[in-house]
A = this chain, B = another copy of it.
Amino acid sequence: MPKPLTFGQFLRESRESKVATDRGFSLRKVAERVGIEPSYLSKIERDEQPPPGEAVIRQLAVELSEDPDVLLALAGKVSSDLLATIRSRPRLFADLIRQLKSMPDHAVLRLVREVRDGSW
C-alpha cells in the first residue's frame, strides 16, 4: 500500500503531476485561481503551515480534481455538512458510526449500496 502522505505532500504531488503537462498548474497560477497568496500555498505544500480552512481546501480540490472529503481528512478535518447531519441526530449517528468503526470496507460499502438502491 502507498505510504500515507501528509496534506502538503499530497497537494504537491497532485499539482506537480499536472504541471508536467499543463503550465497552468504552477504554484502561482493555482494559488491565484484558488484565491490565496502563493507564499501561503508554498508553505502549505511543504507542511510548514497547517492546512488552510475548509473553503480553501474545497477550492484546491476543485482545481486539482481531488476528492474534497479526502483532502479534508488529510487536513484533519471533516466536511461541515457531515457535521451538521450528525449534530441533527447525535445519538443515532454516533451509535451508527461507532458500530461501523471496526467493520471492513466491503461491509460498510454494502450498507451504502443497499441504502442507495432503496431497499428502504
Interface residues of A (CB under 8 A from B): 67, 69-70, 72-73, 76-79, 81-83, 85-101, 103, 105, 107-109, 111-112, 115-116, 120
Docked CA distance A91–B68 (Å):
9
| Nearest-CB residue, chain B, relative to A100 | B115
Instruction: Write the nearest CB–CB distance from A99 to chain B, whole angstroms.
Output: 5
Instruction: Write the nearest CB–CB distance from A75 to chain B, whole angstroms.
Output: 9
Q: Are B91 and A70 in contact (CB under 8 A)?
A: yes
Docked CA distance A83–B101 (Å):
11
Instruction: Write the nearest CB–CB distance from A5 to chain B, whole angstroms.
Output: 14
Q: Are B87 and A73 in contact (CB under 8 A)?
A: yes
Q: Are B78 and A92 in contact (CB under 8 A)?
A: no
